[in-house]
Amino acid sequence: MTSLLRFCLPAVACAGLLIACSKQGAIDTAALSPADESAPVAVPAADMPADLPALLEQAEALRQQAADLGHEWSNHAATITAAREALDAGNSGDAARLAPLAVLMGEQSVLQARTEAGRWRAAVPQ
Amino acid sequence: MDTMRLIVRNASAALVLGFAGLAAAGPEEDRQAFVGYFQQRFADIPFENYIDGAYNFDEDARGQWLDLEDFPPYEFALEEGEALFNTPFANGGSYADCFENGGIAIRQNYPKWDRENGRVVTLELAINECRESNGEPPYPWQKGELAAVSAYMAHTSRGEVFVIEIPVDDPRALAAYEEGKRFFYTRRGQLNMSCASCHLDGANVRLRAELPGPGLGQVTHFPVYRAKWQELGTLHRRYTGCNDQVRATPFPSQSKEYRRLEYFHTYMSNGLAVNGPGSRK
């Protein structure tokens, strides 16, 4: 049972964090695999993030920070690229959906690096 | 009041001793705890059987695997590796010149600490450095000729017991081991999983159709022929695949990170026999 808890709790916590973020309107959690989401999405102009290029710069900076910490997620760069391509193609719906997701992925990967730096020893058998 | 003071004092002493104990836990204490974890969970598996990995957990899969080993799928690659090993380089040198005991029956000593350069040297790294020192181009790291030569060298070492050394008089070696240990237990990737998630707590816990094998004894059968690959691959190829599966960007093969991970990972299997090359699903 202890093993099961050690295995499941971090995953549950991570999922909870994602759900909490989505409830605040930060992301669409259904869009975790952007490559599978090719259909354009209509976004009302009022809901569009004001500065998508700035969000993409922020996402790229976070990706680099995570990589420097050895915690880059393998689908992060592709998400940033997909968002940038959507923006360049004038597909503002997809860009508005993917750019905040890319920022969130960056934030989560950096958070993972910082959390694990203090947590990993707890997983070592004593 | 005196009772309260006594409790506080004893609790403080216990905390201090506890932290001291943690700080003093060296590689051998780590290994014993690692082995003990598995022996407690799987009391019916003898220590020496851990070289068979997940086939300890599933009788049907074990039977199929044993049938396969009658005509092992790595056999041709093994013959290729032997031929490559025994073919002199253009300058007249050979692999045998680069290794102790002519490169025969030495797999159990790798990875080893390179005191002169302050680094971990894996067998595959040593093979490619041998080639380069003899004017030959290095092989690609993950499969092909490198895996074949490594497989042949492992095969000559079958039955030898792993004796990975971490020199106590070189703190850099212990630091490299600790970094490898940290890697093993650190969660990575979007799925937030560590090596230990699958191969410690997750051993023999169904992940879709798979039963992850125990971390103990995991390195002994490498290089491995995987049905998924349809060819031999090195341990670092498997590390790359594992990281990719949890959506973590993998490190390059033979990177400092993976060599240190292999140092820790193999040390945990000290006392187990070499049984490489192996075959797995």
Q: What is the pLDDT of residues B98-148, one digit of tens each?
A: 999 999 999 999 999 999 999 999 999 999 999 999 999 999 999 999 999
Q: What string of DSSP letters covers B146-159? A: HHHHHHHHHHTTTT
Which range (A1-10, A51-60, B108-117) has the least confidence? A1-10
Shared domain for B217 and B129, answered yes or no, is no
Shared domain for B84 and B205, answered yes or no, is no
pLDDT of residue A48: 56
C-alpha distance from residue B197 to each of B130, B192, B215, B280 (Å): 36, 9, 10, 20
> Would an 8 Å CB–CB cutoff place A118 in contact with chain B?
no
Q: Who wins on pLDDT, A85 or A40?
A: A85
Inspect the interface and report whether the beta carbons of A120 and B182 lie closer than 8 Å.
Answer: yes
DSSP-assigned beta bridge partners for residue B112: B121
> Would an 8 Å CB–CB cutoff place B206 in contact with chain A?
no
The 10s digit of each residue's pLDDT in B68-104 is: 999 999 999 999 999 999 999 999 999 999 999 999 9
B35 domain residue, yes or no: yes
Q: Does position B23 have pLDDT exceeding 90, yes or no?
A: no
pLDDT of residue B159: 97
Tokens 């989505």 found at: A22
* Pair B190, B243: CB distance under 8 Å: no
Shared domain for B214 and B140, answered yes or no, is no
Shared domain for B191 and B268, answered yes or no, is yes
B99 domain residue, yes or no: yes
B22 domain residue, yes or no: no
Distance from CA of B93 to the nearest CA of A (A): 39
Q: Does position B19 have pLDDT exceeding 80, yes or no?
A: no
Instruction: Give the residue-averaged pLDDT of A75-92.
Output: 96
Q: Does position A80 have pLDDT exceeding 90, yes or no?
A: yes
Q: Identify the domain containing residue B112 by its residue range.
A: 75-155
Shared domain for B144 and B213, answered yes or no, is no
Confidence of residue B208 (pLDDT cuts 50, 70, 90): confident
- Nearest to B191, CA basis, from A95, A18, A51, A63: A18
CA angle B180, B185, B186 (to 5 degrees): 95
Residue B280, token pair as written in the block: 């797995």
pLDDT of residue A26: 38
Minimum Cα–Cα distance from B244: chain A residue: A74
Q: Does position A20 have pLDDT exceeding 60, yes or no?
A: no
Contacts of A75 in chain B (CB under 8 A): 190, 247
Distance from CA of B204 to the nearest CA of A (A): 12
Q: Which of A7, A75, A126 sits opposite B197 (nearest CB)?
A: A7
Buried-exposed string B2-26: b where 16+ CB fall within 10 A, e elsewhere: eeeeeeeeeeeeeeeeeeeeeeeee
Shared domain for B150 and B135, answered yes or no, is yes
Tokens 């680099």 found at: A64
d(Cα B120, Cα B172) in Å, to the nearest integer? 10
Inspect the interface and report whether the beta carbons of A123 and B30 lie closer than 8 Å.
Answer: no
pLDDT of residue B10: 44
Tally Cβ neighbours within 10 Å of residue B107: 23
Contacts of A124 in chain B (CB under 8 A): 30, 33, 181, 185
Give the ipTM.
Answer: 0.85
> Would an 8 Å CB–CB cutoff place A120 in contact with chain B?
yes
Q: Does position B21 have pLDDT exceeding 60, yes or no?
A: no
Confidence of residue B24 (pLDDT cuts 50, 70, 90): low
Instruction: State how many domains chain B has.
Output: 2
Inspect the interface and report whether the beta carbons of A74 and B189 lie closer than 8 Å.
Answer: yes
Contacts of B190 in chain A (CB under 8 A): 32, 73-75, 105, 108-109
| Domain's final residue, options B129, B155, B181 | B155
Shared domain for B171 and B67, answered yes or no, is yes
* Pair B129, B141: CB distance under 8 Å: no
AA identity, residue B136: E
What are the catalytic residues of B?
242
Confidence of residue A13 (pLDDT cuts 50, 70, 90): very low
Q: Does position A58 have pLDDT exceeding 50, yes or no?
A: yes
- CB proximity list for B183: less than 8 A, separation 6 or greater: B195, B257, B260, B261, B264
Q: Does position A121 have pLDDT exceeding 80, yes or no?
A: yes
- Evaluated on CA atoms B216, B51, B260, B99, the torsion sign reads positive
Backbone phi, psi, residue B143, to 5°: -160, -170
Inspect the interface and report whether the beta carbons of B185 and A123 lie closer than 8 Å.
Answer: yes
- Alpha-carbon A107 to chain mean position: 7
The 10s digit of each residue's pLDDT in B152-167 is: 999 999 999 999 999 9
Q: Does position B11 have pLDDT exceeding 60, yes or no?
A: no
B162 domain residue, yes or no: no
pLDDT of residue A47: 56
